[in-house]
Structure 1
Amino acid sequence: MYNTLLFKKYLPEDFDAFHDLVKVDDVMKYITGKGLSEEQARKKFDSILAINQDPDLGYFKVIEADTLKLLGDCKLVNYKKDPSVFEIGYLLRKEHWGKGLGTQICESMLALAKTLNPGKDVIGIIDPDNTASRRLLSKFGFKSFFVGIEDDIATEKLMLKRTASE
């Protein structure tokens, strides 16, 4: 089990670690369908660095505190299709699946969202075949409201409705 996780924003010097993570087909199966080429990873990483200019939101490396090992990554960003909503996301190396890390990551990202804007809804966007992610988000109160094709990709959207008094 993992005692403590650290969440550190990606920096320019983290590209190799990022590419090592996202080039793996199993890791990216429910995100892009397959691992990213170096060129695809570079394009995505450059967009991550731009988003990470925000002082509070962005893409974070998920690091095991004891070993400083990169386990995966996660994000809390403004949803590109509706900035009045936060978007949460996460991915993990396959060897860390099913060990409770997703729960720890969601707890941390949802706590950050609540600190930044307690009344702002949070969306999670998954592949409809990703039952583990659906279960995880449902555990935190997310409700499915869309299943279909968006941008030529099979998509399920789940929303966590929040009020400022929560």
Structure 2
Amino acid sequence: MAMITERAIPCDEASRDFKLILDENARHSDLGYYRITDDKQGNFIGLAKLASVADQPKTAELGYMLLPEYWGLGIASKVATILVEQACRNPEISTLIAIIDPANLASKKILTNKNFITREFRDFDGLPGEILQRAV
């Protein structure tokens, strides 16, 4: 979470966010939030999402986060590839976005290798953010 929120999330906020995740998964059968597990033992190693963007029809947000011990192993790149392929099969999606911390050069490299380009920089709740996008 260091590259995402830079803070511990209070229980009430986490509960509210979890409900939003469940609602998103129920609303769209081919979009949602996913658990990432290791191939060998099925242990939890992170989360991924391909979620609709409320105020932008035909746009979905791609995201992923891994436990630090799984950084640098190519897993995030594989997850991003799967999510891009999933979005490309969905006729309701024409644009993908991803929001990263501009300091997260590894994620920027993964996304630019998947044909994302920087759209804008802006703050998200006081934290720096870079929005990348690509056509589907």
Does the 8 A contact of 2:58 with 2:92 survive in 1? no
Does the 8 A contact of 1:29 with 1:35 survive in 2? no
| 2:106 corresponds to 1:132 | yes
**TM-score with structure 1 length normalisation?**
0.75
Percent of pairs with identical residues: 28
Q: Which runs of 5+ in 1 are unaligned?
A: 1-27
Which amino acid in 2 is paired with 1:41? A
**TM-score with structure 2 length normalisation?**
0.90
Which amino acid in 2 is paired with 1:30? M
1:103 aligned partner: 77
Which amino acid in 1 is paired with 2:9? L
Task: Pick one of 39, 42, 52 that aligns with 2:25.
Answer: 52
Query: How far apart, CA to CA, are the structure 2 residues paired with 1:132 and 1:118?
Result: 29
The alpha-carbon distance between structure 1 residues 119 and 85, as it changes in their structure 2 partners (threshold 3 A), is closer
RMSD (CA atoms): 1.7
The alpha-carbon distance between structure 1 residues 107 and 67, as it changes in their structure 2 partners (threshold 3 A), is same
Structure 1 residue 150 displacement after superposition? 4.2
- Deviation per CA, 1:43-102: give whole Å up to 9, x if none: 211111111102111000011243110110100011233132111000000110111001
Which amino acid in 2 is paired with 1:42? S
Summarize the alignment of residues 1-166 of structure 1 with structure 2, pairs less than 5 Å apart. 28-53=1-26, 54-117=28-91, 120-162=94-136
Q: Which runs of 4+ in 1 moved over 4 A?
A: none
Query: How far apart, CA to CA, are the structure 2 residues paired with 1:86 and 1:48?
Result: 14
Which amino acid in 1 is paired with 2:97? I
- Deviation per CA, 1:102-124: give whole Å up to 9, x if none: 11100111111011128611101
The size of the alignment, in residue pairs, is 135
Query: How far apart, CA to CA, are the structure 2 residues paired with 1:125 and 1:39?
Result: 24
Structure 1 residue 135 displacement after superposition? 1.0
Does the 8 A contact of 1:79 with 1:123 survive in 2? no
Q: Which runs of 5+ in 2 are unaligned?
A: none
Does the 8 A contact of 1:146 with 1:157 survive in 2? yes
Does the 8 A contact of 1:126 with 1:156 survive in 2? yes
1:8 aligned partner: none
Q: SS in structure 2 opposite 1:50?
A: helix
